[in-house]
Amino acid sequence: MADPRITRMADVLIHYSLNLKKGDRLIIKAPYMALPLVHECYRAALEAGAHPEVHTLVEGLDELFYRYGSDDHFDAFSPREMVVAREYQAYLVIWGDYNTKQLSGVDPQKIRRSRRARTEFERIFDERTLKGELNWCGTQFPTHADAQEASMGLFEYEDFVYNACLLDKEDPVAEWRKIDAIQARIVKYLDTKKQFRIQAQDTDLTFSAAGRKWVNCSGQNNFPDGEVFTSPIENTVNGKIRFSFPGIYAGRAIEDIQLEFKDGKVVGASAAQGEELLQTVLDTDAGARFVGEIAVGTNYGIQRFTRNMLFDEKIGGTVHLAVGNCYPETGGQNFST
């Protein structure tokens, strides 16, 4: 018997997150493990009068790509994806791993090079998103591998994911609209402030967000959601910050990260585990040592660390910071691949 929460999740994604309209062209990217959700999203899109297409991600291809690919492959980017960025109205990515460690042995330089090839795609994608021409959302389908990564059994993890999405509520959309209204008031307040200071154990960080916008995240681009974020003025971040939770990069954990900033730039960085990888990430390009995002998590339904950033960065009452590329809707000016 199909899990009714999957049907409910699809309806929320199509009608609320993506706000799909008649005639819209939608691409759904998902692994085979997520086919139950793909089927329901496809059904809901058709009922909305949209034109859905499915791009199924085959297990193991990413590992093969980095193992046998050459620089020519890493520097190339799919023409089909460029068509989607230029012409489609909706983009849905469903995550779900069969092996969360499949890229943990890959040279980070290869991953960096491949991601750099996405620059033009991301520019067009962001530009059309800002204009309201393209809606997108990323979500998680619970799999055994992701459950194991979170130290849960599959059934427990399913409950965790679906409850974080508020699918246990009678009317999830109404609940997300309530959250949107609450966070709109938070954003309105934060937009009136210029100077900020974050203090915690081994953390004392200051920055300015004068003239920048705080963004209300309430289920449109991530599902589940629950955060407000901005991009600080690039040269105003000063001080130090220590992260309680590890950062996850291509399946590899970087533990106990400590960063020191001066005039916006990371001038000191250490980690108890994965420090070499941390330095590699920070040396990606000129923008990689500057802050692209500072955010506050507001989802108090997420109360445990799962090693999945979709959930972990939303934990209610937490603060997270990301170096590198900014989000254009904030007015940020830092760019990185």
List pLDDT tens digits, range 217-268. Answer: 999 999 999 999 999 999 999 999 999 999 998 889 999 999 999 999 999 9
State yes or no: pLDDT of 1 exceeds 80: no
CB of 117 closer than 8 Å to CB of 73? no
State yes or no: pLDDT of 2 exceeds 90: no
Percent of the chain with pLDDT over 90: 97
> Can you give the residue ranges of every domain in the chain?
4-164, 172-330
Buried b (16+ CB within 10 A) or exposed e, 41-74: bbebbeebebbbeeeebeeeebbeebeeeeeeeb
Fold entry, domain 4-164: Thermophilic metalloprotease-like (3.40.1830)
State yes or no: pLDDT of 18 exceeds 70: yes
* Residue 268 zone, left/alpha/beta (φ > 0; ψ -120 to 50; rest): beta
Round to whole Å and give the CA distance between 194 and 211. Answer: 8
Give pLDDT tens digits for 276-330: 999 999 999 999 999 999 999 999 999 899 999 999 999 999 999 999 999 999 9
pLDDT at site 294: 98
pLDDT at site 251: 85
pLDDT at site 250: 86
Round to whole Å and give the CA distance between 132 and 29. Answer: 21
CB of 7 closer than 8 Å to CB of 15? no
Give pLDDT tens digits for 115-151: 999 999 999 999 999 999 999 999 999 999 999 999 9
Tokens of 27: 């691409």
